[in-house]
Amino acid sequence: MKRTRRVLQVAAVGASALGLLAGCGSGSTATGNANLTPTATAETVSTVETAAPAPEPDACDALLASLNTREKLAQMITVGVTGTDDATAIMSSEKIGGIFISGGTANELLQGGVERVNAASAIAPLVSIDEEGGRVARIPNLIGRTPSAREVAATMTVEQARQEALERAAKLRAMGVTVDFAPDVDVSAQPDDAVIGDRSYSDDPAVVTEYATAFADGMRESGVFPVIKHFPGHGSSSGDSHMGAATVPPLEQLQDKDLVPFRAMVGTGVGVMVGHLDVPGLTEPGVPASVSPAAMQLLRDGVGYGAAPFTGVIFTDDLSGMAAITDRFTLPQAVVAALSAGADVALWGSTDRVSEVLDALETAVASGQLPIEQVDASVARILNLKSVANC
C-alpha cells in the first residue's frame, strides 16, 4: 500500500504515561498529513441544519492503514546503535520503532545526534537507555552518578528518591532520551554483586513497590517513560540470564513476593520488560518468559496474579546478548517467538541483522504465526506511547 505523506512527530513527552513523544521540543502532537486530524463528532455539529459530512477515518486507523506490513513490524523493533550515522541509516532504510543507547555510543548521540536521528525518521523513534543507577549507569559522565537502588532505599526517603529520579530524568530528556528501562522492581536478598543484588531496592515487596513507584513518578514528571522489570520477577533466580538459563521459584511462590510490585504498578502508566526466566507452573520447558505466550497472557490479562489488565507496551529483555536466549534460539527465531507470544517491542543490541529479522517477521505474518491483527494492536500501543495520531 502506498504510504501517505510521512508523519513527522513533534518531539515532546507529557507527564501522562501515554503522552510520550520521541525527540526534542515542546508538548504538542503533530502529523505531516491533514487527513490524520480527528474530525468533529456528531454531537458537535448537531445544530447545523444541513446533513453532516461522513466522518473521516479515525486518525490512528488512518495511520495504520498507511503503513505496509514491513513498516508496521519495524515499529515493533528497538535496537542498539553504534552512533548517529548507524542510527540514521537504519531509520532511513527500515524505519524501525526505536533505538537503544549504550555507554559506548552515548556521548555522540546525546549531544546533538538524536536530533539528526529524528530528522531521518518517518515516525520519530523511541530513544531508550538502561539507566537504573548504581552499577547500571550508562552515562555517569553526562548526568553524574547515583547510588544503587538498595542504597537509595537504605539512605533516602521515598520523596528524596522521587526528587532524584525527577532531576536525572530532566537531564536525560534534555538530551533526547524518552524511555528508561528502569526501575528494577525485582524483590531480592541476593548479595550486592549478584545478577540482581543491589539493583533491587529490598527483599520486602512493599519497600520495592514504594521506592520503585517514586522512581517511576519522577521519571514521568520529567518526560521520560519508565519501564519496570523483569516480569515476573528475577530476584530469586537460580542463575544469571546473561550467562545461561535462569529459573525462578514456581508461579505460586511468586504471588506474595516477586509479583507484588508488578501487581501494584502495571496500572500506573509504565511499560513492562519481560525477563528471560524459566518459571515452573507458567512457562514450558526451554521457553523462557520473554518468548512465552503464557507469560505474556499472565501480564496482559492480569487474572493469574490478581492484577488489572495491562494495556501498555510490553518490551523484551535483550534478545541478542543473553545466553538464556542465545543458547536456545537464533536472533530471528527469538524475535518471531517473542512478538508472536505477545510482546510489543523486541529489543536487541545491533542494527546489522534488522533486515533479516524483518524478513522472518514478514514470513511469520504471511503464515499466520503472527496475526496481522495482533501486529496492528501492538503498533497502536507503540504509537500511543509516542503520542502519534491519537492511537
Q: How far apart are the first and last CA of the chain?
A: 20
Q: Is 366 exposed, middle or buried (0-12, 13-18, 19+ CB in 10 A)?
A: exposed
- Contact yes or no for 314/289 (Cβ under 8 A): no
Q: What is the radius of gyration, based on Cα positions, of the chain?
A: 20
Rounded distance between C-alpha atoms, residue 80 and residue 297, angstroms: 27
Rounded distance between C-alpha atoms, residue 97 and residue 73, angstroms: 9
**∠ Cα 230 380 310 (to 5°):** 40
Q: How far is CA 33 from CA 9, 22, 38, in A?
A: 11, 18, 11
Q: Which of 2, 83, 89, 78 is nearest to 378 (CA)?
A: 78
- Please spell the DSSP secondary structure of 217-285, one letter per residue: HHHHHTT-EEEEEEET--TT-SS-TTTS--B---HHHHTTTTTHHHHHHTTSS-EEEEP--B-TTTSPT
Residues 6+ positions from 32 with CB-CB distance below 8 Å? 5, 6, 7, 8
Quote the cell numbers at residue 286: 526451554
How distant is the alpha carbon of residue 110 from its chain centre? 19
Amino acid at site 24: C
- Contact yes or no for 260/254 (Cβ under 8 A): no
Which sequence positions are flagged as catalytic?
242, 317
Instruction: Give the count of alpha carbons within 13 A of 255, CB side only.
Output: 11
- Contact yes or no for 11/124 (Cβ under 8 A): yes
| 3-class DSSP assignment, residue 23 | coil
